[in-house]
């Protein structure tokens, strides 16, 4: 299980990307439909559902840029203008909508940050100030001040206060001072701005968890007691401040005090190697995880108990 994307208002509707296909369910995972028509054989590694027009779904691939569906995944078309021409650009790790817009999207790719203001029709590279960056893996937009963005890269964290026109490196505390300028000082896998207090930002890396309370000017290590520091995902509760979930090869852990203390919430999981983690936008007690080789799991009680969600295909109409 590579990626999971939830409908913004219909809790029964979600998409998943496996190593081979995209699937969709309308009944909370009781039955699934393969919705990969029009996709190439490139592996899908990111999914995003338009929060305002949810029939529009975007898929970022590992080798063929971005695809878009206008009808809930039934058909897909390539949306690569501005991304074509350099093969490595086509690896799209994350797609992030600017709050309040269906047209304005940022993409974190293996060749940097790209922006579209026409719903994927054309993409423009936004890398001014990103020196020595080899790969941008994750990006987030401040929901209250959309001109503020953070990008997680192979060399740490960059921040923009002008809508990605200019970036500055904000690695103080993330890596030792003597390697602050190194391009591969730290590999960031997920960055999240606290929607309740946007000066607080969390980042998960391949070497630990970090938190800033001053817009990235300095970072503090958190979660050092967690059993695995090789993190794969990080999400925030959309309703309750200070609730943070992280995923790793040791399962899922939650902090309810902004990262000071952590609890394991793995009851029911048959595989603790987690690759994707999402929280329902309509009910924060409902979360999904995608595991490595054990499929999809769901909890409806904030992680106290997980249940498997089998990939059972719906019967075809005859």
Model pLDDT, residue 317: 58
Q: How many separate domains does the chain show?
A: 1
Asked if residue 268 is part of any domain, the answer here is yes
How far apart (Å, rounded) are the C-alpha atoms in residues 295 and 313?
A: 14
Asked if residue 69 is part of any domain, the answer here is no
Q: What CATH number does the domain containing 228 carry?
A: 2.130.10.10
Asked if residue 207 is part of any domain, the answer here is yes
Model pLDDT, residue 19: 86
Task: Give the pLDDT confidence of 197-246 residue by residue, as tens digits.
Answer: 999 999 999 889 999 999 999 999 999 999 999 999 999 999 999 999 99
Asked if residue 168 is part of any domain, the answer here is yes
Asked if residue 127 is part of any domain, the answer here is yes
**Block means of pLDDT (10 residues each) for the chain, length 318 residues?**
94 94 96 93 92 97 93 94 69 96 96 95 94 86 96 91 96 71 67 97 94 97 96 96 98 98 98 97 96 95 97 76
Asked if residue 72 is part of any domain, the answer here is no
Model pLDDT, residue 85: 60
Model pLDDT, residue 206: 87
Model pLDDT, residue 318: 40
Asked if residue 14 is part of any domain, the answer here is no
Domain that holds residue 156: 86-309
Model pLDDT, residue 181: 53
């Amino acid at each position: 299980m590579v990626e999971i994307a939830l409908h913004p208002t219909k809790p029964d509707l979600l998409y998943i990307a496996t190593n081979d296909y995209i699937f969709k369910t309308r009944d909370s995972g009781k039955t699934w439909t393969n919705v990969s028509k029009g996709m190439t054989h490139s592996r899908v590694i990111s999914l995003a559902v338009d929060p305002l027009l949810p029939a529009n779904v975007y898929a970022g691939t590992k080798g063929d840029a971005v695809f878009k569906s206008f009808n809930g995944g039934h058909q897909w078309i390539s949306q690569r203008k501005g991304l074509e021409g350099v093969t490595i650009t086509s690896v799209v790790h994350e797609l992030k909508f600017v709050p309040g817009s269906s047209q304005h999207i940022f993409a974190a790719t293996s060749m940097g940050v790209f922006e579209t203001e026409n719903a994927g029709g054309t993409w423009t590279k936004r890398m001014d100030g990103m020196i020595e960056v080899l790969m941008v893996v994750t990006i987030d937009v401040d929901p209250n001040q959309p001109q503020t963005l953070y990008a997680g890269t192979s060399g740490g964290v960059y921040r923009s206060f002008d809508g990605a026109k200019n970036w500055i490196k904000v690695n103080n505390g993330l890596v030792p001072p003597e390697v602050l300028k190194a391009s591969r000082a730290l590999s960031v896998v997920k960055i999240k701005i606290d929607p309740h207090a946007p000066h607080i930002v969390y980042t998960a890396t391949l070497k630990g968890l970090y938190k800033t309370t001053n817009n990235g000017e300095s970072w503090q290590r958190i979660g050092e007691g967690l059993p695995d520091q090789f993190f794969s995902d990080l999400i925030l509760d959309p309703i309750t401040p200070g609730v943070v979930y992280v995923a790793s090869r040791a399962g899922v852990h939650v902090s309810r005090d902004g990262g000071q203390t952590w609890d394991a919430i793995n009851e029911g999981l048959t595989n603790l190697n987690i690759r994707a983690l999402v929280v329902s936008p309509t009910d924060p007690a409902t979360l999904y995880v995608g595991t490595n080789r054990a499929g999809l799991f769901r909890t409806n009680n904030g992680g106290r108990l997980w249940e498997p969600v089998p990939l059972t295909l719906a019967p075809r109409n005859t």
